[in-house]
Amino acid sequence: MAQVPQTFFDALAVRTWCGLALETLGRAREEIDAINVYPVADGDTGTNLYLTVESAVAAVEAVFAGHAAGAEAVVGAGSAGAGVADIGFAGAEGTDAGGAGEPTLADAARAMAHGALIGARGNSGTILAQLLRGMAQVLADDDTARADGRCLRLALRHAADSARRAVAHPVEGTVLTVASAAADAADGAEGDCGTVARAAYDGARTALAATPGQLPVLERAGVVDAGGRGLVAVLGALVETFTGERARAVAAGACTGPAGVPRARGDRAEGQLLAGGHAPAGGHAPVGGAPGECADSAAAVPGQDGPAFEVIYLLEAEDAAVERLRGRLDALGDSLVVVGGDGLWNVHVHVDDAGAAVEAGIEAGRPHRIRITHFGAGDVHTTGAERPPRERAQRAVVAVVPGEGLARLYAEAGATTVVARPGEPPASGELVQAVRRAHAREVVLLPNDADLRHTAAAAAEQVRTEGVRVALIPTRSAVQGIAALAVHEPDRRFDEDVVSMTSAAGATRYAEVTIAERQSWTMAGICQAGDVLGLIDGDVAVIGSDLAVTAQAVLDRMLSAGGEMVTLVLGDDVPDTVAGHLEGRVREGYLAVDTVVYRGGRQGALLLIGVE
């Protein structure tokens, strides 16, 4: 069905654009994933962009739903205390932009930007979130209910500039170049929103065609920049929003002709240009820099491998703290992008020391929704041009963990992690995305929570349809996951490895010590709010008033049935003296039992205990 064009940029246009962008990225996702070779060839740029826009769509829809509910409440109140004429007037108001039943342009634009910010995935998704935020800042700054072509030009320019500032070391031949070219083209367009959007789209297509000449890794792989290709898709949706016409398809592959001009691969005519439009001026430097200029990272230096981990988290922090954080993270790794503002930020960086990146966030403010991805052996950093860009690792472990410290521990062991904050269990889609990030033929999935069993099973079923062999080990605690990881041997046959890991997890009893939030009946009696609770295998076994005493009672009960190894995972609020007290108890009372202690960060429970 043809899209009804929007004349002005209003709240409905924001909603329409987001929906069309999601549809367009959905169609192009696999193609964009396949050409993802920079900054890391982990084959997920299309998926990351899709998930970022999906979060923006959800936020915009929530705003529309909230205003619709408010309009119904107004009408209901009117029907109870007003005449028929009053009710009719309220309903008519709700149909106008910014009326009771529809959000204002500022409401919708801010929702779009916030949704993209909190849902941003990967390097390109984080930059796209800043592009949308930059546009929203201009659109929301106008007090009118709708914006015209002039305002759209300003929004595109501010978006490109703010995205470039968000990247620590901008690299040409990437989505930043494409965004700048779109803004440049829009600057020269006079007319309504449709005219400006089409100019921006055409400028982006032309810039995308030139990206292989700006980044050698793209030229060697014979592709355009994946992030830039995604932005062209989003701008194509903007054109469709204002004209009702679907933008022309864009070719993703490229080869370089005799004159150095990128051309389309596949069934297209030899002379047809890469991004389906106009050739870049021959011999001219690309937008924003010289050909081959790569200012971003060691990835641009031949023969040098990139960092081992991708770290992403949301951060609640003040502006000054974020500036200090930028400097610290820049020294730790590369591909640093920090976007956001007004106290909420999205941080993305590639590092070798994932724990240090998270700790830097803790010093700056409150990090949450932390995701740490280990770039497996099958991933290709930009300097590994001879390696096949889509080669998968043979096997990977994906684990849900309850705290930043455990995320670091698991990541150092080679696992891809999903951090579950208290009260924020991951959805199956997040687990599916984590398995995709692991980029392996075989995956062992550790939910580490009995309540996530069905969620993990749903995720496993979905990725199996994508050709990934998945084994779900029903771990119920992070300490069981630690035991499973300890015996993981990726060189062993998959079935044997899974059996060994399952056996190790099953042989580990687990417990946690936490604080009661309210009065309640338990297996150990009635507890009051503020009591210290000791849970063994999920059931309350000890109620006390002192953390160290209660933890010792729990540990004694667990070791009464025997054990060879005790694992203690301390939360942020637990002093080291508690661990020292428990270690001393094990040394004095239980011969030949070893103890290992980890810091788990903000993990919900004060203390996790495992006995193998």
Q: Could you tell me the pLDDT band of residue 271, with boundaries at 50, 70 and 90? A: very low
Q: Could you tell me the pLDDT band of residue 3, with boundaries at 50, 70 and 90? A: low
Residue 382: the pLDDT is 36
Q: Tell me the pLDDT tens digit for each residue of 568-601.
A: 998 888 888 999 999 999 998 898 899 999 888 7
Whether residue 152 has pLDDT greater than 80: yes
Q: Tell me the pLDDT tens digit for each residue of 173-202.
A: 999 999 999 999 999 888 899 999 999 999
Q: Tell me the pLDDT tens digit for each residue of 203-225.
A: 999 999 999 999 999 998 899 99
Whether residue 561 has pLDDT greater than 90: no
Mean pLDDT of the chain: 81
Q: Tell me the pLDDT tens digit for each residue of 289-300.
A: 333 333 333 333
Question: Rounded distance, CA 297 to CA 301, Å?
Answer: 8
Residue 277: the pLDDT is 34
Whether residue 431 has pLDDT greater than 70: yes
**pLDDT, greater one: 541 or 84:** 541
Q: Could you tell me the pLDDT band of residue 262, with boundaries at 50, 70 and 90? A: very low
User: Collapsing DSSP states into helix, strand and coil, what is residue 602?
Assistant: coil
CA 190 to mean position of chain CA atoms: 37
Amino acid letter at 324? Answer: R
Question: Rounded distance, CA 9 to CA 186, Å?
Answer: 15
| Contact indicator for 348, 15 with CB cutoff of 8 Å | no
**pLDDT, greater one: 29 or 273:** 29
Mean pLDDT of 354-382: 74
Q: Count of CB atoms within 10 A of residue 462's CB?
A: 16
Query: pTM of the full predicted structure?
Result: 0.58
For 121-163, the three-class secondary structure string (H helix, E strand, C coil) is CHHHHHHHHHHHHHHHHHHHHCCCCCECHHHHHHHHHHHHHHH
Q: What angle do CA 55, 325, 435 make, to 5 degrees?
A: 40
Mean pLDDT of 472-491: 93
Percent of the chain at pLDDT above 90? 49
Mean pLDDT of 442-458: 90
Whether residue 231 has pLDDT greater than 90: yes
Residue 437: the pLDDT is 86
Q: Tell me the pLDDT tens digit for each residue of 121-137.
A: 888 999 999 999 999 99
Residue 122: the pLDDT is 87
Q: Tell me the pLDDT tens digit for each residue of 503-526.
A: 999 999 999 999 998 888 988 899
Percent of the chain at pLDDT above 70? 81
DSSP 8-state symbol, 450: G
Residue 307 contacts by C-beta under 8 Å, 6 or more apart in sequence? 333, 334, 350, 351, 352, 375
